[in-house]
Copies of this chain bind each other. A is one copy, B any other.
Amino acid sequence: MTDPLVIFTPSGKRGHVAPGTTVLAAARQLGVDLDSVCGGRGICSKCQVEPAFGAFPKHGVTVTEEALSPRNAVEDRYDRIRGLAPARRLGCQALILADAVLDVPPESQVHKQVVRKRAEARPVVMDPATRLHYVEVAPPDMHEPSGDLQRLERALAEQWGIPNAKGDLRTLQMAQPALRKGDWKVTCAVYGDGPEPRILQVWPGFYGGPIYGLAIDVGSTTIAGHLCDLATGDVIASTGLMNPQIRFGEDLMSRVSYAMLNPGGAAQMTAAVRQALNALVAQAAAEARIDPALIFEAVIVGNPVMHHLVLGIDPVELGQAPFALATADALHLWAEEIELRLHPDARIYILPCIAGHVGADAAAVALSESPQLNDELTLVVDVGTNAEILLGNRSRVLACSSPTGPAFEGAQISSGQRAAPGAIERVEIDPVTKAPRFRVIGVNAWSDEAAFPPDTRVTGICGSGIIEAVAELRLAGLLDASGLLGSAEQTGTDRMVPQGRTHAYRLRGDILVTQGDVRAIQLAKSALYAGARLLMDAFGTDTVDRIVLAGAFGAHISPRHAMVLGMIPDCDLAKVSSAGNAAGTGARIALLNVAARRDVETLVHRIHKVETAIEPRFQEHFVAANAIPHASDGFPHLDPLPEVTFNTEGGRRRRRG
- Is A147's CB under 8 angstroms from B328's CB? yes
Q: Are A329 and B150 CB-contacts (below 8 A) given A322-B142, A614-B142?
A: yes
Nearest-neighbour CB distance to chain B for A184, whole angstroms, equals: 11
Closest to A145 in B: B355
- Is A323's CB under 8 angstroms from B609's CB? no
Closest to A166 in B: B329
- Is B327's CB under 8 angstroms from A149's CB? yes
Q: Which of A473-529 contact B (CB under 8 A)?
A: none
Selected from B147, B196, B337, the residue in CB contact (under 8 A) with A353 is: B147
- Is A325's CB under 8 angstroms from B172's CB? no
- Is B312's CB under 8 angstroms from A354's CB? no
Contact string, A138-170, partner B, CB cutoff 8 A, digits 1/0?
011111011111100000000000000001010
- Is there a chain B Cβ closer than 8 Å to A217's Cβ? no
- Is there a chain B Cβ closer than 8 Å to A173's Cβ? yes
- Is A327's CB under 8 angstroms from B145's CB? no
Q: Which of A229-251 contact B (CB under 8 A)?
A: none
- Is A327's CB under 8 angstroms from B142's CB? no
User: For the complex, what is the distance from the CA of A149 to the CA of B328, rounded to whole Å?
Assistant: 8
Selected from B145, B172, B322, the residue in CB contact (under 8 A) with A326 is: B172
Binds B, one of A5-13, A74-82, A313-321: A313-321
- Is there a chain B Cβ closer than 8 Å to A195's Cβ? yes
Nearest-neighbour CB distance to chain B for A429, whole angstroms, equals: 44
Closest to A325 in B: B147
Q: Which of A76-92 contact B (CB under 8 A)?
A: none
Q: Which of A299-338 contact B (CB under 8 A)?
A: 311-314, 317, 321-329, 331, 333, 337-338
- Is A176's CB under 8 angstroms from B314's CB? yes
Contact residues in B for A355 (Cβ distance below 8 Å): 145
Contact residues in B for A139 (Cβ distance below 8 Å): 322
- Is B176's CB under 8 angstroms from A313's CB? yes
- Is there a chain B Cβ closer than 8 Å to A410's Cβ? no
- Is there a chain B Cβ closer than 8 Å to A388's Cβ? no
- Is A322's CB under 8 angstroms from B353's CB? no
Selected from B149, B313, B323, B609, the residue in CB contact (under 8 A) with A173 is: B313
Nearest-neighbour CB distance to chain B for A21, whole angstroms, equals: 37
Q: Which of A431-455 contact B (CB under 8 A)?
A: none
This chain: copies in complex: 2
User: For the complex, what is the distance from the CA of A272 to the CA of B71, rounded to whole Å?
Assistant: 58
User: For the complex, what is the distance from the CA of A322 to the CA of B482, rounded to whole Å?
Assistant: 87
Contact residues in B for A142 (Cβ distance below 8 Å): 321-323, 356, 611, 613-614
Contact residues in B for A333 (Cβ distance below 8 Å): 169
Closest to A611 in B: B142
- Is there a chain B Cβ closer than 8 Å to A175's Cβ? yes
- Is A176's CB under 8 angstroms from B145's CB? no
Selected from B147, B321, B326, B358, the residue in CB contact (under 8 A) with A149 is: B326
Closest to A337 in B: B169
Contact residues in B for A54 (Cβ distance below 8 Å): none
- Is there a chain B Cβ closer than 8 Å to A177's Cβ? yes
Selected from B177, B312, B609, the residue in CB contact (under 8 A) with A169 is: B312
Most interface-central of A142, A356, A614 (chain B CB within 10 A): A142
User: For the complex, what is the distance from the CA of A21 to the CA of B474, rounded to whole Å?
Assistant: 76
Contact residues in B for A327 (Cβ distance below 8 Å): 147-150, 167, 172
Nearest-neighbour CB distance to chain B for A151, whole angstroms, equals: 9
Most interface-central of A196, A312, A328 (chain B CB within 10 A): A328
Contact residues in B for A173 (Cβ distance below 8 Å): 311-314, 326
Closest to A328 in B: B147
Q: Which of A166-189 contact B (CB under 8 A)?
A: 167, 169, 172-173, 175-177
User: For the complex, what is the distance from the CA of A254 to the CA of B613, rounded to whole Å?
Assistant: 71
Contact residues in B for A167 (Cβ distance below 8 Å): 327
Nearest-neighbour CB distance to chain B for A306, whole angstroms, equals: 15
Contact residues in B for A141 (Cβ distance below 8 Å): 322
Nearest-neighbour CB distance to chain B for A335, whole angstroms, equals: 12
- Is A328's CB under 8 angstroms from B145's CB? yes
Nearest-neighbour CB distance to chain B for A13, whole angstroms, equals: 35
Closest to A146 in B: B328
- Is B312's CB under 8 angstroms from A176's CB? no
User: For the complex, what is the distance from the CA of A322 to the CA of B167, rounded to whole Å?
Assistant: 22
Nearest-neighbour CB distance to chain B for A243, whole angstroms, equals: 21
Q: Which of A598-622 contact B (CB under 8 A)?
A: 609, 611, 613-614
Closest to A610 in B: B143
Q: Are A149 and B195 CB-contacts (below 8 A) given A322-B140, A324-B140?
A: no
User: For the complex, what is the distance from the CA of A326 to the CA of B151, rounded to whole Å?
Assistant: 10
User: For the complex, what is the distance from the CA of A139 to the CA of B314, rounded to whole Å?
Assistant: 18
User: For the complex, what is the distance from the CA of A358 to the CA of B353, rounded to whole Å?
Assistant: 49
User: For the complex, what is the distance from the CA of A331 to the CA of B153, rounded to whole Å?
Assistant: 14
- Is B609's CB under 8 angstroms from A326's CB? no
Nearest-neighbour CB distance to chain B for A304, whole angstroms, equals: 10
Nearest-neighbour CB distance to chain B for A590, whole angstroms, equals: 19
Selected from B143, B172, B353, B358, the residue in CB contact (under 8 A) with A311 is: B172
Nearest-neighbour CB distance to chain B for A615, whole angstroms, equals: 10
Contact residues in B for A331 (Cβ distance below 8 Å): 169
Q: Which of A346-392 contact B (CB under 8 A)?
A: 353-356, 358
Q: Are A172 and B313 CB-contacts (below 8 A) given A142-B611, A356-B145?
A: yes
Contact string, A623-636, partner B, CB cutoff 8 A, digits 1/0?
00000000000000
Q: List 14 A–B pairs whose Cβ atoms lie within 8 Å, in order of A's numbering.
A: A142-B322, A143-B611, A145-B325, A146-B328, A147-B326, A147-B328, A148-B317, A148-B325, A148-B327, A149-B326, A169-B311, A173-B326, A176-B324, A176-B326
Q: Which 5 A-B pairs have the closest CB atoms?
A: A147-B328, A195-B195, A145-B355, A140-B324, A147-B327
Can you add 17 more A-B contacts, CB < 8 Å, to A145-B323, A169-B312? A139-B322, A140-B324, A140-B356, A142-B611, A145-B325, A145-B354, A145-B355, A145-B611, A147-B328, A147-B353, A150-B327, A150-B329, A167-B327, A172-B326, A173-B311, A176-B314, A176-B317
